[in-house]
């Protein structure tokens, strides 16, 4: 793909769509099959924004030889309940703006490819995504910066003319370490936790005037 003038990089779960409740239920169902429980605080601590490898180590440490199988089981439970998801308010508007502006779009996620592709299809955004970066397909997932660096590289993007959208501390750290201005979607976590992780801004959704002012200013700046 030719180098884009501007690049937008999006996390998926909790950012482009609010799927936390579905993931929470899927993990509770999985753990119930093994006589365990999961409360919301533990979900935020061990699950939210983490890779499946890290999640399984935290939640089912006594079954290391089955972690991959159990992760696949959980994702199957999630996909079975996905239904028709709704995009975060303002997301279609932002994708339309990117298409009109000639900005490139990457989705950078720790979700498995099957989940990501299904979600983007259900959201009606799949055809507008220029690159889909799956953390588990790289040497390191979030919070390592590699996923966002890979997204920039695949699009020929420059961190100085790009921004990221995240909703979890691990994702924010990943994006910031890749040199990206990072907007945090304040939903599951309070803004204070997002700023503590390094977010530059906390917005309720993609209609936030703060975001559009920043985009207008950022796109006016030309590379030196």
Cα-to-chain-centroid distance, residue 159? 17
Is residue 11 part of the annotated active site? The answer reads yes
* Cis peptide leading into residue 202 (ω within 30°): no
State which H helix or E strand residue 81 sits in: none
Contact 178, 157 (CB under 8 A): no
Question: Which residue in the list 13, 20, 130, 167 is annotated as catalytic?
Answer: 13
Selected catalytic residue, list 11, 20, 130, 167: 11
Nearest to 9 by CA among 127, 178, 170: 178
Token pair for 158: 């420059």
Q: Is 13 a catalytic residue?
A: yes
> Whole-angstrom Cα distance, residue 40 to residue 30?
15
What phi, psi does 145 have (nearest 5°)?
-70, -10
Q: What angle do CA 90, 93, 95 make, to 5 degrees?
A: 110
Helices (H), 33-145: 40-46, 52-59, 67-80, 91-101, 113-123
Element (H, E) at 203: strand 201-203
Active centre residues (catalytic): 11, 13
């Amino acid at each position: 793909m030719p180098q884009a003038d501007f690049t937008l990089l999006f996390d998926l779960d909790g950012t482009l769509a609010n799927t936390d409740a579905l993931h929470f239920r899927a993990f509770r169902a999985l753990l119930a099959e093994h006589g365990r429980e999961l409360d919301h605080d533990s979900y935020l601590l061990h699950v939210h924004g983490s890779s499946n490898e890290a999640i399984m180590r935290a939640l089912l440490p006594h079954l290391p030889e089955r972690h991959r199988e159990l992760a696949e089981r959980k994702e199957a439970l999630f996909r079975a309940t996905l239904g028709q998801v709704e995009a975060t308010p303002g997301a279609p508007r932002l994708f339309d703006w990117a298409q009109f502006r000639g900005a490139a779009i990457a989705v950078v996620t720790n979700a498995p490819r099957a989940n990501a592709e299904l979600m983007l299809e259900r959201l009606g955004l799949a055809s507008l995504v220029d690159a889909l970066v799956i953390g588990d397909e790289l040497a390191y997932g979030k919070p390592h910066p590699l996923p966002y660096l890979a997204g920039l590289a695949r699009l020929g993007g420059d961190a100085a003319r790009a921004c990221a959208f995240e909703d979890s501390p691990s994702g924010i750290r990943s994006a910031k370490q890749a040199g990206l201005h990072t907007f945090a979607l304040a939903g599951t976590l309070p803004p204070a936790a997002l700023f503590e992780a390094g977010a530059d801004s906390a917005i309720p959704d993609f209609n936030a005037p703060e975001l559009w002012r920043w985009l207008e200013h950022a796109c006016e700046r030309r590379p030196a």
